[in-house]
Amino acid sequence: MKATARAHTNIALIKYWGKRDEQLFLPMNNSISITLDRFYTTTSVSFREDLSADVFVLDGKEMGGHEREKISGFLNLVRRTANHQGYAVVDSLNEVPTAAGFASSASGFAALAAASTRALNFTISNEGLSILARQGSGSASRSIYGGYAEWHKGTCQDGSDSFATQILPENAWDLSVLSVMVEARQKKVLSREGMRRTVETSPFYAGWLDSLEIDLSAARDAIHKQDFEQLGTVLERNALKMHATTFGANPPFLYWTGATIDVMQVVQELRENGVLAYFTIDAGPNVKVICQPADEQVVKDRLLELECVQDIFLCHPGPGIHYLTT
Ligand code: ADP
Ligand code: DP6
């Protein structure tokens, strides 16, 4: 009873920021993402009779404490869904920096959802997988699909209509995503805590929610039309709005460092010089710069001139979940 699955990370163009149900990972708003080719997780799950507890090995190291409990909690959900009793060994390899704002939790839980259900021979649709992955980490719901995806917040209390669907497959529209590393350390306010604090305390959170429908429909429309300028304009605006909510939280917090702002300014300067490039930032200081493939070298070269830039990982739209033979 073993299976191996691979899932790629995704970067949100319209952000998921805030939960209406923390237990079920139900979001306050829809979100839209691109799945990335360069960063992924490969996870093997093996259900075995001889185990008295679940085992979680991440990048060759056996994990204990909270990390193992998170995996075990997720496997409990899979066991309930697939009506199975018995423990498993989860062996996972991250081809992405862990907990550094590169969305390892998205690829991690999407791969775990796929490998664990396949190991139990449990037949499940992509939407079902998305619902399952969501309950490990919200953004994982989008990593089931390649290319461009939208996670629908849903309205049901049990979360049965809160799943992602694909907007466009990965080969339909090529864009370049430059993941600009300015800081390799782990973030201080995890996204889970950060979104909770802004929902509970930020007076700006209502403004975030009020303007989301406009951003979502502009982004959807831009993806369908493959209109890069429209998409870039809305994704940058949406990222800045998300971060603005954290300034109003109590206590307030800021994910950016000086280096983050340096990168943002270079992107705006590139635009002033006629190169269409836009930035987005998640719950950490690193920046993702999005441009068209014809401009990726110019953008990369300019960013590398900044002393604060430690590394740049060039990504393109990547595939959805797939299974590997073991
Ligand atoms: P990131 O920006 O990398 O997503 P988070 O702090 O949001 O950072 O998520 C990191 C957490 O995701 C880890 O602490 C771990 O619980 C989970 N995670 C990371 N990689 C995996 C994996 N391969 N399998 C399962 N869970 C993972
Ligand atoms: C800023 O999916 O990591 O990256 O559901 O609590 O695990 P949990 O949060 P997570 O949050 C992602 C927040 C974000 C925006 C996004 O990816 O949409």
Each residue's pLDDT tens digit, 285-315: 999 999 999 999 999 999 999 999 999 999 9
**Mean pLDDT of all residues belonging to the chain:** 96
Note the pLDDT of residue 102. Answer: 81
Kindly report the pTM of this predicted structure: 0.97
CA neighbor of 79 nearest in space, from 145, 1, 4: 1
- Indicate which ligand has the atom closest to the C-alpha of 199: 2
- Whose CA is closest to atom 12 on ligand 1? 105
Cα distances (angstroms) measured from residue 31 to each of 135, 162, 220, 223: 16, 11, 10, 13
Mean pLDDT of 49-67: 96
Q: pLDDT per residue over 112-122, tens digit each?
A: 999 999 999 99
CA-to-CA distance for 145 and 219, rounded, in angstroms?
17
Fold of the 176-315 domain: Alpha-Beta Plaits (3.30.70)
CA neighbor of 162 nearest in space, from 21, 33, 34, 35: 21
pLDDT band at 101 (very low <50, low <70, confident <90, very high): confident
Note the pLDDT of residue 185. Answer: 76
Per-position b or e across 176-209, b if 16+ CB within 10 A of its CB: bbbbbbbbeeebebebeebbbbbbeebeebeebe
CA neighbor of 27 nearest in space, from 212, 187, 207, 188: 212
The token pair at 239 is: 């990222």
CA neighbor of 61 nearest in space, from 87, 99, 93: 93
Q: How far is the CA of 105 from the centre of ligand 2 (A)?
A: 8
Note the pLDDT of residue 215. Answer: 98
Closest ligand 2 atom, CA of 137? 7
pLDDT band at 187 (very low <50, low <70, confident <90, very high): low
* CATH code of domain 2-172: 3.30.230.10
Closest ligand 1 atom, CA of 9? 4
Q: How far is the CA of 138 from the centre of ligand 2 (A)?
A: 6
pLDDT band at 97 (very low <50, low <70, confident <90, very high): confident
Give the start-to-end residue ranges of the domains of the chain.
2-172, 176-315
Is the CB of 105 inside a 6 Å radius of any atom of ligand 2?
Answer: yes
Mean pLDDT of 63-77: 97
